[in-house]
Amino acid sequence: MGYGFAVAAVSMEIVLCCARSFRTIVSSSRQFDFVRYFSRICSFVAVSMVLIAGGSGCSRLRPKPPAQYVYVTAKQTFLRDRVAAVSNRTATVENGDRLEVLDRGRRFVKVQTAKGEQGWIDEKVIATQDVFDQFEKLKQDHKADPVVASAVVRDEVYMHAKPGRDTERFFRLAEGEKLKLLARATLAKPVPPGTRVAKAPPPAATAATAKGSVEKGAKDVSTAAAAPEPVPPAMEDWWLVRDSKGDTGWLYSRMMDVDAPDAITRYSEGQRIVGSYVLTTVSDPEAEQDDKNIPIYVTVLSPYKAGLTYDFDQVRVFTWNVKKHRYETGYRDRNIEGYLPVDVKMATDPYGKSPTATTPVPTFSYRVLADDAGPVIPDPVTGAIVPGKTVLKTYRLESNLVRRVLPPGTTAPGEAHPEPVSDKKKAAGAKGSKGKKRR
């Protein structure tokens, strides 16, 4: 910039010298009007030269604008030398590659790869820097979150920045990719445009109408009937996951399967295994498996239903029968509203007095909703499920026996149940009464 101003000063000095000389020559001829006119022209030329010299000097030293980048969202695509029906491929880029923006067209962007390859790419297969920053923030915010379960991707699918089908997506996961599950969210399933929302039939109104057809005052009864309530919206579950590369995002639950061994999935009894955790191993030299160290599992299960306000409703421990060489149910906790994670560790019993209490054994714990907690309502925007008051339940595996750890002289706190206990007892009694003949 100093160089530009120096040139301008010299140029201005030359112009002023010329003007002074000309004025001296024609000082005796002031009667001519062209002298004043010529002086004005000289001043205009001097100012113009100053502006031109200063602008040229500043343009050389003006900092370049920061580079702009976009990121490839497609599994694989190509860069082309021009935007035309017939073009040549200049480079191959893959999902996650960062590209520097060189120019922008109507629907295409001219970019340059890290190797220096240049070409045009469709803007439909790229993500902006803002989208990339959203995933980076998600990764940093949840890098210390505990892993609640593991899963496997069913088919190629994208991770989203937020729960929902219409949210921004970026990283593409391959079939069979191993995932770590961090948290669950549940949202209302989007309704296609033009779809009518179904309404539940009003049973009270139906009965009143039938009765009013044979009695007087049918019109009054039907008018007083309760208005039909809309059917609750269909829900869908999303999981916050972390892939093998450490990238984090939200994934639709139906696009993955929880990683559970086949040896225990056959005992799921129509429920979905949400998580399975190894407590310990048992040696069985006569087992059919190649590995004679048989794992003992604690599993959590839930119904095949989206939109639940809890993560699981059943806990089941599978122990190994060395004599029969098969898995058996060592413990089961049903009809609960449980929440992940399940903590598994080796620990002693701080309240026990027997010799086994001081011996560290496999211990697992989980939380369930307390009976005096309020209703759990998922956030309608984020889908987050935050329970109120919960109860921590801790158990120890002593040999093949599962025993709950409680302070002496205390009663287990009350727990909430997804199904009323009284109704379950009535159902069990009804089933037991079937087949009995009346006398």
CATH number of the domain within which 79 lies: 2.30.30.40
For tokens 């498996």, the residue is: 289
**Pair 146, 264 in one domain:** no
- Looking at residue 429, its pLDDT comes to 43
Same domain, yes or no: 383 and 401:
yes
Q: Which residue has the tokens 């056959």?
A: 266
Domain membership of residue 56 (yes or no) is yes
- Looking at residue 19, its pLDDT comes to 52
Residues 6+ apart with CB under 8 A from 382: 162, 163, 185
171 and 90 co-located in one domain? no
Residue entry with tokens 């004025």: 23
Q: Are residues 316 and 374 in the same domain?
A: yes
Note the pLDDT of residue 92: 96
Same domain flag for 334 and 280:
yes
Q: Is 199 among the domain residues?
A: no
Residue 341 and residue 109: Cα distance in Å, rounded? 45
Residue-range definition of the domain harbouring residue 239: 130-190+231-259
The answer to whether residue 218 sits within a structural domain is no
Taking residue 239's Cβ as centre, other Cβ atoms within 10 Å add up to 23
Q: Is 114 a domain residue?
A: yes
Label residues 146-175 b or e (16+ Cβ within 10 Å = b): eebbbbebeeebbbbbbbbeeebbbbbbee
State residue 421's pLDDT score: 82
**pTM beyond cutoff 0.85:** no
Task: Name which of 271, 263, 267 is nearest 294 in CA terms.
Answer: 263
Show the tokens assigned to 238. Answer: 């999303």
Residue 321 domain flag: yes
User: Does residue 224 belong to any structural domain of this protein?
Assistant: no
Rounded Cα–Cα distance for residues 288 and 107 (Å): 61
Q: Which two tokens stand for residue 176?
A: 């069979």
Q: Is residue 311 domain-resident?
A: yes
Which of 339, 337, 357, 338 has its CA nearest to residue 349? 357
pLDDT at 218: 46
The answer to whether residues 47 and 73 belong to one domain is no
CA distance 417 to 281: 32
Of 216, 242, 259, the domain-final residue: 259
Alpha-carbon distance values, 12 to 42, 45, 50, 52 (Å):
10, 9, 7, 12
Question: Within this chain, do residues 154 and 272 fall inside the same structural domain, yes or no?
Answer: no
Q: How many domains does the chain have?
A: 4
CA angle 206, 208, 211 (to 5 degrees): 110
Which pLDDT belongs to residue 153?
Answer: 96
Question: Looking at the structure, do residues 292 and 392 belong to the same domain, yes or no?
Answer: yes
Residue 138 shares a structural domain with residue 37: no
**Domain boundary residue among 127, 148, 163?**
127
User: What pLDDT, on a 0 to 100 scale, did the predictor assign at position 360?
Assistant: 94
Domain finish residue from 127, 145, 162? 127
Same-domain pairing of 110 and 24? no
Regions of the chain with pLDDT less than 70: 1-62, 194-230, 423-439
For position 363, what pLDDT does the model report?
Answer: 97
pLDDT at 64: 73
Statement to judge: residues 17 and 110 lie in one domain:
no
Domain membership of residue 330 (yes or no) is yes
- Does residue 320 sit in the same domain as residue 422? yes
Predicted local confidence at residue 370, as pLDDT: 96
